[in-house]
Structures are given as structure tokens and as C-alpha cells.
Amino acid sequence: MTDTAGTGALPVEGVSAARVLDEIRALRAADRPTHGGRLFAYVYDPGVAGLDELAQAAYAESAHVNGLDPTAFPSLLAMENALVGAAARLLGGGPGTSAPDVVGSVTSGGTESLILAVKAARDARPDLAEPRIVVPVSGHAAFAKAAHYLRVALDPVPVDPVTLRPAVADVAAAIRPETVLVVASAPSYAHGVVDPVAEIAAVAAAAGVRCHVDACFGGWTLPWLRRLGAPVPPFDFAVPGVTSISVDLHKYAYAPKGVSVLLHRDAGLRAPQFFAYADWPGYTMVNPVIASTRSGGPIAAAYATLRHLGEDGYLRLAAVTRDAVAGLADAVRAVDGLRLLAEPESTVVCFTADDPELDLFVLVDELTARGWHTQPQLAYAGLPASVHLTVTAAVAPRVAEFGPALAEATAAARAAGPVVLPPELLALAGSLTPEALTPDLIAGLAAGLGLGAGPAPDRMAAVNTLLQAAPVRLRERLLVEFVGLLQRPTW
Ligand SMILES: Cc1ncc(COP(=O)(O)O)c(C=O)c1O
């Protein structure tokens, strides 16, 4: 009998709902575990029983609602305004504060919020032919993407190799007459350190330039950690000169993917973020954000998540997370040869290796083999390679197991020894220009590293070692080529 259902997305004859769901579950089995506290990147899991079910139900209620027109779907407008109000209040804005006129928009994620912060700053200065933004190198890569998309020049500011923060004098020196935006992170994703926001905002204000605080990662944890007594420096609208703040609800607000909030100190600052168009025969269009048609699903799910957890819930989750961070940091300190790159001050644990016999990329693979999924970070501009752990509340029950696993994985990585790539390959990676990469060369490299169609190899140390040997522009090109190999249609 012919299997008319096949395995493609569009079978000749439709298949049953039960079978489709089974198929998706089978595909999902190859994924990293989104729940259970063993994945230290990509996912934010509070480990709260029943929360997923609530978010899914709320998502389903609004999945087909279209955010394109707030007058047609007032439910979505009401929930968006409530999310913006909650975020503003948490971040030093709203009635009775020094920033009573804060407004905002709900976007699809941190990247969209940052692109729009850059767009608003750029379009507020139509007089400038070549606008520029000043971003510490520890700022999220999405600022570079925004600069690229919007044709804004990027002025990177180095960070101190010990504090991992930019020097305020360097930020001030980078500001030029064409600068439209200065950026600070609270905290940086890579190392979890909070930039000197008050000082950066002050130099931006003195130059008459907007200052965006990227609190995509920390905006929903730092306020609770502060309430719990942690020494969190000022980073929000209480700081004069801060003109906009981004905070991702799909990170530490524990909402499903697809929700971030971009706040501006007042409506005048937000106005150039919008796009309106009436010069065509179709519907008059006004978009506060990049997307036009937008599902109400993520917004309703975020609304349900915030209302269900409430301030008391977030405070409790922050306390649990804080203790998990302390426990993980202790586990790192206990292993000979490993060193915290920064003392944890938010919800990131980031460590490096001081021992040349201990290859961090091999260690990451050994941890993966034991069911612990961490994130390797390549050496960059004088900063050593490191391992990043995003810590969420669901990690807490796992902390006691992590220490022995880390010790065991470190011993295994030492025993295995560092990755040794053929010297000619390393020399090639170090000297090749992106333009010199031919399809044959890429295919040869990919095959040698076990990359190609199909899932990525279990062990990525060789890939990371090769990328690390390459200059930044070549790293980027190799990444594009390797992911291009993965993104091929199935027939
Ligand atoms: C500080 C910071 N900014 C921006 C982003 C980008 O967010 P997204 O992945 O939601 O686009 C991230 C993501 O980790 C982040 O940590």
C-alpha cells in the first residue's frame, strides 16, 4: 500500500490530528530539554507546576487575533497596555515616579526591541546623513544587526578584561556629533555584569544623545534581586538620561517565546519608532513595531503568566534563582583549573579555564554527554574562551548534582586533552579571507568537521576550535555557510 501521508509537510491526503501530534513529539525528542533545569541557555524555566498549561490555554484563546489593528481587537490592546504598564512600573516609570510619562510597545523579542530603539533614535535625527550608535563590545549582537539593517554606523567601545565593563571615558570619547544612541547593558548576556548605567547615561545626556538600557535579560530579575537585598546599581528610569529600556518577557518573566517590551521615557521619544503609510489603495497602515500582522497568542500568554505569578511569585522565583547562582558559582570555584570570569551579580555564571591542558570546548562536550547543556563562548578581543550558564529557577533542584558532574566532566576533558586540529587547517583558518572561501573549501571543511545535512554532531569542540582560530569576519562567514548547509528543504 502506498503511504500517501509521506513525511513531508504537505501530504497528498491529510493525516489525523493524533498522528500529526505524535510526529511532532517524535521530532521534539531530538531537542535539548526545555524543562528540568539542565539546559543553561535558550530557555527560561521557572519550574512552576501548571504554568505551561495556563500559558498554552491563554495562547490558544488569542492565537488567531491579529495585532495589526488595535481597533478591531481591543482585547489585544488592553493586554499590551497592561504589559507595558507592568514593565514600566517595575523599571522605575509610571505615576509617582521621576518618569511618569513612560510609554511602550510589545515586540516579538529582544532583537526587535533593540532594532526599534535604534530606529527611533535614527529617525529622530533626519538631519544626519550618517547616523552612528555607540555600543560596548559586551552589548548584545542584536545592536550590530540593527546597525546593519538600518544602515547606522556602529562605534564599539572595548570592555575592561577584568571588570568586563566599558570605561565611561571611552564611551564619552566615542560619542560624535552624528551619534544618535548610546547603549548600556543591564546586564550583558555574555558575562552577566551590569554596565555603569548612571555614568553612561550622564555622558549621553551631556551630549544631547539618547541612552538605551538593554535590560532584555535582566529587566525582570534585577528589580526583584534588589528587593531581596542584592546591591543592584541604578539602571532604570530612575537614572536621569536613560531614554529607553528593553525587557524581554520571554526570558525571566517566564512567558512563552515571542514577547518583549520596549519602553520610552515619553511619547515624543517613541514617535519615530512608528511607521504609517496611506499612499496606496489598500487599508491605511500604522505599525508601532516591525511586524504588521501579529498573533495575539504570545501577548495573551505573557499576560496570563504575569497575572498568575504576580509580584510574590517573581520574588520567590528570584530568591530561588539567586541561591542557584550562588550554588553553581561555588561548584565552579571547587574545580581546580576553572575560574569565574566575573563574580555573579545577576543570573549568569560564566567561567573560563586557566589550565592549558583543560580545553573548555571539550569540557562543554563532556557536560553535554552527561546531560548538562551549557553554552561555549569563543575567545574575543583579549577575553578568553568561556562557558556561559543562564540560570533560571528550575535549575535550583539540580544544583547539588551539578558540582559532581562538573568535576567529572573536567577530569574527562583533561584526560581527553585539548582538541588538536591539523596545523594546515589552523593556518588556513587564521589566514583565509571570507572572500577566498570557495564552495569546495566550505564543503571540505564541513565534511571534515562532521557538519552537513542532518543534525549537528554531538561533539562540537572541533568546530568551536576552528571558529576560534578564525578572525571575526571569517567566523561570521563560516557560520553562515554552515547554517546554510542545515537549512535545506526536505522533499
Ligand atoms: C541582553 C540581551 N539583549 C538582547 C537579546 C536578544 O533577545 P532575543 O533573542 O529575544 O531577540 C538577548 C538575548 O539573549 C540579551 O540577553
Between the CA of 42 and the centroid of ligand 1 the distance, in Å, is 10
Best of 143, 189, 220, 260 for a ligand 1 pocket test (most atoms within 8 Å of beta carbon): 189
Atom 9 of ligand 1, nearest CA residue: 110
Separation in Å, CA 332 to CA 172, 350, 416: 36, 9, 20
Question: From the alpha carbon of 112, which atom of ligand 1 is closest?
Answer: 11
**Residues with Cβ within 8 Å of residue 481, at least 6 apart in sequence:** 437, 442, 446
Between the CA of 185 and the centroid of ligand 1 the distance, in Å, is 11
Give the count of beta carbons closer than 10 Å to the beta carbon of residue 409: 22
Give the Cα separation of 213 and 202 in Å (integer). Answer: 13
The answer to whether residues 188 and 160 touch, using CB atoms and an 8 Å cutoff, is no
Between the CA of 247 and the centroid of ligand 1 the distance, in Å, is 9
Between the CA of 256 and the centroid of ligand 1 the distance, in Å, is 14
Q: What is the mean pLDDT of residues 350-377?
A: 97
pLDDT digits (tens, 9 = 90+) for 14-70: 999 999 999 999 999 999 999 999 999 999 999 999 999 999 999 999 999 999 999
Q: What is the mean pLDDT of residues 92-100?
A: 98
Between the CA of 385 and the centroid of ligand 1 the distance, in Å, is 20
**Which has the minimum average pLDDT: 156-170, 245-259, 446-460?**
446-460
- The CA-CA-CA angle for residues 366, 471, 165, to 5°, reads 75
Residue 161 pLDDT grade (very low, low, confident, very high; cuts 50, 70, 90): very high
* Whether the predicted pLDDT of 453 surpasses 80: no
Between the CA of 55 and the centroid of ligand 1 the distance, in Å, is 21
Cell numbers linked to 390: 543562564
Q: State the chain's mean pLDDT as an integer.
A: 96
Give the Cα separation of 49 and 54 in Å (integer). Answer: 10
pLDDT digits (tens, 9 = 90+) for 175-206: 999 999 999 999 999 999 999 999 999 999 99
Give pLDDT, residue 4. 67
On the 0-12 / 13-18 / 19+ scale of CB atoms within 10 A, 276 is: exposed
pLDDT digits (tens, 9 = 90+) for 63-80: 999 999 999 999 999 999
Question: From the alpha carbon of 250, which atom of ligand 1 is closest?
Answer: 10
- Neighbouring-strand partners of residue 348: 390
Q: What is the mean pLDDT of residues 451-480?
A: 89
Name the pTM for this structure: 0.97
* Amino acid (one-letter) located at 321: T
Atom 4 of ligand 1, nearest CA residue: 110
Give the Cα separation of 259 and 253 in Å (integer). Answer: 10
* Torsion angle in degrees (nearest 10) through CA of 350, 394, 31, 418: 30
Cell numbers linked to 293: 500582522
| Nearest alpha carbon to residue 294 among 61, 66, 58 | 66
Question: From the alpha carbon of 189, which atom of ligand 1 is closest?
Answer: 16
* Whether the predicted pLDDT of 1 surpasses 50: no
**SS3 of 377, please?**
strand
Give the Cα separation of 359 and 341 in Å (integer). Answer: 16
**Which has the minimum average pLDDT: 133-137, 285-289, 457-461?**
457-461
Cell numbers linked to 423: 596545523
Ligand 1 lining (C-beta closer than 6 Å) = 109-111, 114, 140, 142, 185, 189, 214, 216-217, 248
**Residues with Cβ within 8 Å of residue 10, at least 6 apart in sequence:** none
Give the Cα separation of 203 and 208 in Å (integer). Answer: 9
Give the count of beta carbons closer than 10 Å to the beta carbon of residue 64: 10
* Whether the predicted pLDDT of 5 surpasses 90: no
* Whether the predicted pLDDT of 3 surpasses 60: no
Give pLDDT, residue 203. 98
Cell numbers linked to 262: 520596549
% of the chain surpassing 90 pLDDT: 91
Question: From the alpha carbon of 111, which atom of ligand 1 is closest?
Answer: 11
Give pLDDT, residue 34. 96
Question: From the alpha carbon of 108, which atom of ligand 1 is closest?
Answer: 10
Question: From the alpha carbon of 188, which atom of ligand 1 is closest?
Answer: 1
Between the CA of 348 and the centroid of ligand 1 the distance, in Å, is 13
Separation in Å, CA 211 to CA 89, 127, 259, 272, 369: 19, 19, 22, 15, 43
